[in-house]
Amino acid sequence: MNKLEEFIENIVSSMEDGDLRFDLLRWSKEEPYWCVFACEHGDNTQTNTNIKGVTNIGGHYCIGREENLHGVLSLLADSGWKVEIHQDYWN
């Protein structure tokens, strides 16, 4: 099991039911590598995040440059959670 598979398994088993999604964003303009954020979405707009509708972030995983994005997306999709890609940066 690779690190991403371990991250997905741990997140999926630890977060409670709800509108759970994997949101992909680039970290920053200066460091534009992709990161996966495990998020719970809802109506609470009081959270301090760039991802609209997020009420809780359970964790994040930074995708290494050597990782295949197609493989990453396939693993995320196979988790059963929704997957969303955002044009915004985290920082």
Q: Residue 67 pairs with which residues in a beta bridge?
A: none
User: What pLDDT score was predicted for residue 34?
Assistant: 93
pTM for this structure? 0.87
- Which residues touch 40 (CB under 8 Å, ≥6 apart)? 15, 18, 19, 20, 21, 54, 55, 56, 57, 58
Q: What is the pLDDT of residues 1-25, one digit of tens each?
A: 689 999 999 999 988 778 899 999 9
User: pLDDT tens digits, residue range 34-80?
Assistant: 999 999 888 766 667 778 888 888 999 999 888 888 999 999 999 99
11 phi and psi, to 5 degrees?
Answer: -65, -50
